[in-house]
Amino acid sequence: MIIGCHLSVSKGFAAMGRQALEIGANTFQFFTRNPRGGKAKDIDEADVNELKSIMLKNDFKVILAHAPYTLNPCSNDERVREFAFEAMSDDLKRMELLPGNLYNFHPGCHVGQGSERGIQLISEFLNSVLREDMHTTVLLETMAGKGSEIGGRFEELAAIIDGTKLKDKLGVCLDTCHVFDGGYDIVNRLEAVLEEFDRIIGIERLKAIHLNDSMNSLGSRKDRHQKIGQGGIGLEAFERIINNKSLRELPFYLETPNELDGYAEEIRLLKKLRRAV
Ligand code: FE
Ligand code: FE
Ligand code: ZN
């Protein structure tokens, strides 16, 4: 089982690798820069190389970088769109130091321009930021559909991918809290939701899962994460999710409201619920 959680990059890359090991994880997610935006720290190559050797020694298959929340490629403000371009191009360039991993971003908010225009802007953005020679898979995250957020419906993600030229560089990260808040009933109809995902996007695009319970109920469109088993989704649904045949080989990332010890406990719990095939 590939499982980990969100970690802070503040002490460097190798430190995240060591932290992951301490809490029983074999992957992790991190923000490429301050989640509210701003400049990324210069990368220390020795530090990255140390992480690479930790990953190799401990059989870490893949790690997931997360773009800052402020990145909005479909803003109506050109400067905001430019920041999105600069931040993601820079992030993807840095990711080449860790080839073969994943980079996740929130598709964006159309801020009143309408979802059709938003989708078009996101595809144009991807057409300018993705490069044939890169070694990272860029993931669109499924969103709760809060406000003018794009990505609350599978159709929107499919349309973005459809408008993007370098489709082999693209995938999707499914966030359990987001899809549940967006109205997809993964508690009672997990198989049907995955069939719908497959029909509209294609299950082969699914590359990672954000495992979060939800503070709210199905279709609430709120996006407030809760600890595993303590929210609207509940532990039994998570047991089905981590053992599902289409999902079980994917990397799972916790983004629950926890400190390290809380994450360690959730990882232990989920590993206990994992069944052999
Ligand atoms: Fe996210
Ligand atoms: Fe998420
Ligand atoms: Zn969220």
CA atoms within 13 A of residue 57's CA, in its CB half-sphere: 10
Per-residue confidence band for 277, with pLDDT thresholds at 50, 70 and 90: confident
- Give, in degrees to the nearest 5, the angle at Cα 46 between 44 and 49: 110
**Centroid of ligand 3 to alpha carbon of 119 (angstroms):** 20
pLDDT number for residue 35: 72
**Centroid of ligand 3 to alpha carbon of 273 (angstroms):** 24
pLDDT number for residue 42: 82
The string of pLDDT tens digits covering residues 15-40 is 999 999 999 999 999 999 877 767 77
Whole-structure pTM value: 0.97
**Centroid of ligand 1 to alpha carbon of 192 (angstroms):** 24
Per-residue confidence band for 92, with pLDDT thresholds at 50, 70 and 90: very high
The set of catalytic residues is 36, 66, 69, 106, 141, 175, 178, 210, 223, 225, 255
CA 35/CA 269 separation, integer angstroms: 28
For all residues of the chain together, what is the average pLDDT? 97
CA 169/CA 167 separation, integer angstroms: 5
The string of pLDDT tens digits covering residues 192-251 is 999 999 999 999 999 999 999 999 999 999 999 999 999 999 999 999 999 999 999 999
Domains of the chain in start order, with CATH, are: 3-273 (3.20.20.150)
Tell me the average pLDDT across 141-165.
98
**Centroid of ligand 2 to alpha carbon of 79 (angstroms):** 25
CA atoms within 13 A of residue 172's CA, in its CB half-sphere: 29
The string of pLDDT tens digits covering residues 42-56 is 889 999 999 999 999
Pair of tokens at residue 228: 């595993």
Residues with C-beta atoms within 5 A of ion ligand 2: 175, 210
Place of tokens 């993601």: 88
Distance from the first to the final alpha carbon of the chain: 11
SS (H, E, C) the chain: CCEEEECCHHHCHHHHHHHHHHCCCCEEEEECCCCCCCCCCCCCHHHHHHHHHHHHHCCCCCCEEECCCCCCCCCCCHHHHHHHHHHHHHHHHHHCCCCCCEEEECCEECCCCCHHHHHHHHHHHHHHHCCCCCCCEEEEECCCCCCCEECCCHHHHHHHHHCCCCHHHEEEEEEHHHHHHCCCCCCCCHHHHHHHHHHHCCHHHEEEEEECEECCCCCCCCCCEECCCCCCCCHHHHHHHHHCCCCCCCCEEECCCCCHHHHHHHHHHHHHHCCCC
Residues 105, 91: contact at Cβ < 8 Å?
Answer: no
Ligand nearest to the CA of 65: 1
Tell me the average pLDDT across 175-191.
98
Pair of tokens at residue 167: 């489709």
CA 86/CA 27 separation, integer angstroms: 27
Residues 189, 241: contact at Cβ < 8 Å?
Answer: no
Per-residue confidence band for 82, with pLDDT thresholds at 50, 70 and 90: very high
pLDDT number for residue 75: 98
- The amino acid sitting at 268 is R
